[in-house]
Amino acid sequence: MEADSSTIISTRDLTKRFGDFTAVDGVTFEVQRGEVVGYLGPNGSGKTTTIRMLCGLLRPTSGSAQVVGLDIAKHADQIKGQIGYMSQKFALYDDLTVRENLEFYAGVYDVQESQIKSRLDEIYHLAGLEERINARTVTLSGGWRQRLALGCALVHHPPLLFLDEPTSGVDPVARREFWDLIYQLADTGTTVFVTTHYMDEAEHCGRVGFMLDGQLLAFDTPHDLKKHHLKGAAWTLGLDPLLEGVEILSKTPGIVQARLNGDQAQAIIVPGEWTPETLASMLTSRGLSVGEIKTVEPTLEDVFTLLAHG
């Protein structure tokens, strides 16, 4: 199969075993240039191992993948120069300043000497680091460190960027700003492949993949993931006590699943099985105090909960 030039990642039965443990199990998908792809799954489901193979850092046990037109098994070294990778535990040099860290990575990625200064200026501007150029990295807060790490991953102007839980451990404001940055990159044609445990972030992605136990269970737009996997309407319910309420709902026929959503329960109701009135009276008879019941739009967290439970 000839890969289309608009295809930037293409995998076929990609598999990685560690001893008798299969971390990634026959994963096949394609990503087109300019897409923002979210890659979801429980801890330990194989997301990071997939990324590490695509970055040329781990050799697959079997299967194949082409990244930026290169075979990951044959051209791992060339791939590294054409992608940006921000790992979960990114390495910044605390004793170096912001500029020195960027210069260091520019050296690692063989950015031409004559281009370093203009590229660094672009990155300061993009990441909003202008006022911190000479700050020592150790003095930066989590949100700024993360922007700097992103800058380091972008210093060689890669067309494809892998971000592995980039917003883990940063506050909500920094998270929003980070996603604004991702959109700016996508607008200029950079392809972004990002893992996250924040389902609201996944809603921002053009397409979302979902892994479980090494397998890619689904790969689609947020809209179609909800449409194809959630066989019912989403309702929120104010319940007291809340946890007992969620447990009762989880075991109730005609309810696909129930979970916590903020201080309420959120359930997927099979069409025609319940009305708000019949459900409220059932719950009341089980000793719960029932507040408002509302139809809401389902979220990717509903899909995640469903797929993760198999």
Partner 1 sequence: MSSSNPDSELLLETEDLVKTFGPLRAVNGLNLQVGEGEMVGLVGPDGAGKTTTMRLLCGALTLTSGKIRVAGYDIPRHVEQARENIGYLAQRFSLYGDLSVSENLDFFGEVFGVSPEERKVRSQELLAFAGLEKFASRRARALSGGMQKKLGLATALVHRPKVMLLDEPTGGVDPVARQEFWHLLVGLLRGGSAVLVSTPYMDEAMRFNRVVFMNKGRALIQGAPRQLIQRLQGRILELAAEPQIAARRLAESDPDVEDVHAFGDRLHLRVRENTAIASRLPGMLAASGIRLFHLRPVEPTLEDVFIQLLESDTNGS
Site of interaction with partner 1 (CB under 8 A): 41-44, 88, 141-143, 165, 168-176, 179-180, 183, 187, 197-200, 203-204, 222, 240-243, 259-263, 301, 304-305, 308-309
CA distances from 150 to 48, 101, 219 (A): 17, 11, 25
Relative to beta strand 70-71, strand 160-164 is unpaired
Question: Closer CB to partner 1, residue 103 or residue 164?
Answer: 164
Minimum distance of partner 1 from residue 82's CB (angstroms): 28
Nearest distance, CB of residue 184 and partner 1, angstroms = 11
**Minimum distance, C-beta of residue 238 to partner 1, in the bound complex (Å):** 10
| Nearest alpha carbon to residue 13 among 26, 29, 30 | 26
Residue among 271, 242, 237, 240 at smallest CA distance from 256: 271
Between 63 and 222, CB nearer to partner 1: 222
Q: Do residues 84 and 158 touch, judged by C-beta distance below 8 A?
A: yes
Select 66 or 190, whichever has its Cβ closest to partner 1.
Answer: 190
Angle at 203 between CA 202 and CA 209, to 5 degrees: 50
Q: How far is the CB of 126 from partner 1 (least distance, A)?
A: 17
Report yes or no: 229 and 305 within 8 Å, Cβ to Cβ. no
Query: Which among 230, 218, 247, 208 has a CA at the least distance from the CA of 295?
Result: 230
In the bound complex, what is the minimum distance in angstroms from residue 222's beta carbon to partner 1?
A: 7
Nearest distance in Å: CB 6, partner 1: 22
- 10 vs 305 by CB, closer to partner 1: 305
Taking the least distance from each CB to partner 1, the nearer of 74 and 294 is 294
Going by DSSP bridges, is the β-strand pair 160-164/62-67 parallel, antiparallel, or unpaired?
unpaired
List of residues 6+ apart from 309 with CB closer than 8 A? 257
Shorter beta-carbon distance to partner 1: residue 262 or 271: 262
